[in-house]
C-alpha cells in the first residue's frame, strides 16, 4: 500500500522488499503506462484484464529484473506496467485467469 499511495501521489516510493498485491475481479483500465483518469467518460478505449497478482521488487533489483518482460495487456500473459511515469517503477502483473473469468473456489485434497 505504501508503494501504491506514493505512486498515485506522484512521489518516488522507497521499495526495500518484495511487495505483493492482487485484483481477483480483474480491472478495466485506459491503457498501458497511462495514469488513472479522473473522468472515465473521456476514455476512448478500455482494456479489460482478468484476475491477476501484482509484484513490485526492491529498488536495487526492479528495473533490471523486469526490463525484458512483455508489456502487452491483451495476451493474457504476464506483463509489466508503470502506474506513474515520474516514479518510473514497473509493476509485474501476472494473470491468474482470463478477462471475464472468475476464479473457482478450491478445496485442498487431503493426502493419504
Greater confidence (41 vs 84) lies with 41
Geometric angle at alpha carbon 33, from 30 and 37, rounded to 5°: 40
Residue 45 lies in a domain: yes
Geometric angle at alpha carbon 43, from 71 and 2, rounded to 5°: 60
In this prediction, residues 5-20 reach a mean pLDDT of: 80
Greater confidence (50 vs 1) lies with 50
Residue 40 lies in a domain: yes
**Host domain of residue 76:** 2-95
Residue 9 lies in a domain: yes
In this prediction, residues 34-49 reach a mean pLDDT of: 80
- Whole-number pLDDT of residue 39: 84
Residue 55: Cβ within 10 Å count: 19
Residue 41 lies in a domain: yes
- Whole-number pLDDT of residue 64: 75
Residue 107 lies in a domain: no
pLDDT in tens, 42-57: 888 888 888 999 998 8
Overall domain count for the chain:
1
Q: What is the pTM of this model?
A: 0.74
Residue 106 lies in a domain: no
- Whole-number pLDDT of residue 6: 79
- Which residues face 35 on adjacent strands? none
Residue 112 lies in a domain: no
Greater confidence (51 vs 60) lies with 51
Percent of the chain at pLDDT > 90 equals: 3
Contact (CB, 8 A) for 75 and 98: no
Residue 12 lies in a domain: yes
Amino acid at each position: 500500500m505504501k508503494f501504491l499511495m506514493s505512486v498515485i501521489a506522484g512521489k518516488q516510493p522507497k521499495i526495500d522488499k518484495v511487495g505483493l498485491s492482487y485484483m481477483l475481479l480483474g480491472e478495466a483500465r485506459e491503457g498501458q503506462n497511462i495514469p488513472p483518469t479522473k473522468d472515465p467518460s473521456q476514455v476512448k478505449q478500455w482494456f479489460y484484464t482478468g484476475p491477476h497478482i501484482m509484484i513490485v521488487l526492491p529498488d536495487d533489483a526492479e528495473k533490471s529484473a523486469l526490463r525484458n518482460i512483455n508489456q502487452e495487456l491483451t495476451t493474457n500473459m504476464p506483463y509489466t506496467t508503470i502506474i506513474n511515469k515520474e516514479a518510473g517503477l514497473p509493476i509485474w502483473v501476472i494473470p491468474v485467469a482470463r478477462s471475464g473469468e472468475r476464479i473457482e473456489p478450491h478445496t485442498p485434497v487431503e493426502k493419504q
